Structure formats: C-alpha cells, structure tokens
Amino acid sequence: MKKQVFRVDSDGYNGAWYPADVATHKGMILMLGDSAEDRMASCGAKWLNRQGVHVLAMSPEKKDYGHHNYPLERFGKAIAFMRAQGCEKLGVVGASTTGMMALLAASFYPEISLTIAISPPDFVMEGFYRDGKDGMTERPGDNESSVSWQGQPLPYLPYAYRHPEYWKKIQEESKAGGNKVASRKLFDESERRHPIQEEKRIKVERIRGKLIFIGAEDDVLWDTCRYIRRMEDRLARLPHECAYESWLYEHGTHFVFPESMLKMMLPVGSALLVSLMFKAGKEFKKECKETRIDIDRRLKKALAAW
C-alpha cells in the first residue's frame, strides 16, 4: 500500500493515508494539526505506524484548523476506505478540539473499537473560524456548531463572547497568565452563562471497545480534567459497553502527547515548545516530561493489546 491523499470534492473528506510497513489489520483515524499532510499529522502517523497501525489522517479542510458544521458522515466514508484496505480493527485519536471529534465519531460509529481522546471537552463546542477576520486569529462561527449530522448542526455550548471580543478575551487571559494561549476562563464563563443541557453533551455511553481519556490539571485551554471526570460520572450512571480509563496528571499542559511522538514532531526543542507555549511547561518542565514519558509507555502498551 502507498500513501494516498483525499479531497472533499472527489472523495467526500480531506485526508491522507499512511500505511504501516508491516502487515496489520489495525487502522487508526488520526486528527492532529491544521492539515492531514502537515508535520504534526505525518509524524503522528509515523509514530502509530511504528506501533503496527495503519493511519488515515483527517482534517476539516486542506489546511485549516477551524471547525464549523463538520459533517460526521465523513468518518463513515473514511471507515469504508479503511475496511477496503483490510483494517478489521478501527480506532480514532484526537487532541484538543479533535479530542471532542474523536469522541463524537466513536459515539456515532460503533465499529470503532479504540478511542483515544487527548485533552477533550465533554460537550459539543460551538463552531469557530481561523480566517484572520479583522486581524483576529480565531473567531466564533455565525451561530454554527462545530459538527453536523445528516445536514443538521448538533446542539452546542455557545461561547460567552462574540467577535471580536472573543479573541480579545483570549489574548487578555493569555497575557495575564504568562501563556501564549489560554482560554480556560472563557470556557468557564461560557458554561456559567449557558449551563450545559443534556443534548449538548457527548454521548460517551454509546462508545464501544476501549476508551482512553488523557488530560492534565494545569491545562489552560479548558478544564479538561473536570470534563473527563464528568464523562466518568456519566459512564458510571448509564449503561455502556466500553471499557474506559482516565489518565489524569497534575502537570502536562494541553500538550499531553507521548514523549517520543512529540520528539518526532520537533526533533530539537520539543520540551522548549511546551515551555514557551505554557507557563506550567516552563515552571514544571521535569514533571511535564515525566507525564509525556508515562503516556508514551501506556499508549504503546494499549495499542499492542488492542
């Protein structure tokens, strides 16, 4: 098998196929970075390839991290392709916003038997753009969900602020906390103004197989450990068929990636990036690295056992 590239116009989704060099029946949908072909995605795919897993990287557009009314049916098309390549076991992994996407995909497609959600929320986010409008890096969508199903936007948690106040609030919070980017207060305020209703929560109880949550208490993008604990509570209350684990750490920042994967993405200065991006990454450099090393070990073990 060779690398292939997919586009919405011709294939129904944006993605890139990274087959492993070894014979395997395992296939993982990977969502990292701005593009299915950028360094973050390609290195993530290479890392998974080394664990004996074929990879189909996916992204909303050819190069765009914005998410607005992303059709979940694209996962169905990707799964059909992977089945045709001999992937009998199917998994999905995402981080941050795409951690949410991974959970949603697995809740809609029961054939997914391994779900890895890194720094995820437990609700559907409002859609957002990264088109540079009015000089702002990011802005909320125009009353849009981040995802859709069968042509209809899924109910979502609205942001507390609109454009351009939204990005200005993120800048203020980031500067005040000594981080390159921080939005935890924004999400807390969003939830205060708009208490999360049931229809906006991710139905994690519909996920099959193995489910792994990964998060750190010092995450300044949002309170992911609180969100993960709420998903644990949900699974404890509701009937479910998945076996779930939560890997929660005191230190690790929003970038709780396997250490060897992060080093592949940034051969020189991987730890430096974390310390430059987040104050906790600088103040607790050793602890953050220990977190990533532990995740590396546990994730390799989980993939081997899958």
Least confident of 47-56, 143-152, 259-268: 259-268
Domains for the chain: give ranges and CATH numbers.
4-305 (3.40.50.1820)
Confidence band (pLDDT; 50, 70, 90) for 300?
very high
* Residue 52 Rama label (left phi>0; alpha psi -120 to 50; beta): left
pLDDT given at position 64: 67
Query: Distance between CA atoms of 142 and 152, rounded to whole angstroms?
Result: 15
Cα separation, 171 vs 16, in Å, equals 33
Q: Does the structure show a pLDDT above 80 at 63? A: no
* Identity of residue 169: K
- Output the CA torsion sign for 10, 11, 13, 18: negative
State pTM to two decimals. 0.97
* Interval 72-123: pLDDT, tens: 999 999 999 999 999 999 999 999 999 999 999 999 999 999 999 999 999 9
Q: Is there a contact between 163 and 140 (Cβ–Cβ < 8 Å)?
A: yes
Q: At what angle do helices 184-193 and 165-177 cross, to 10 degrees?
A: 130
In the chain, pLDDT over 70 holds for what percent of residues? 98
Q: Is the distance from CB of 256 to CB of 291 less than 8 angstroms?
A: yes
Q: HEC profile for 8-72?
A: HHHHCCEEEEECCCCCCCEEEEEECCCCCCCHHHHHHHHHHHHCCCEEEEEECCCCCCCECCEEC
Per residue in 236-263, pLDDT tens? 999 999 999 999 999 999 999 999 999 9
Which position has the token pair 């929660």? 248
Angle at 217 between CA 59 and CA 306, to 5 degrees: 55
* Residue spans of beta strands (DSSP E) within 154-209: none
Peptide bond into 121 cis (omega under 30): no
Q: Is-contact 157 183, C-beta < 8 A?
A: no
Please report how many Cα atoms fall inside a 13 Å half-sphere around the Cα of residue 59, on the Cβ side: 22
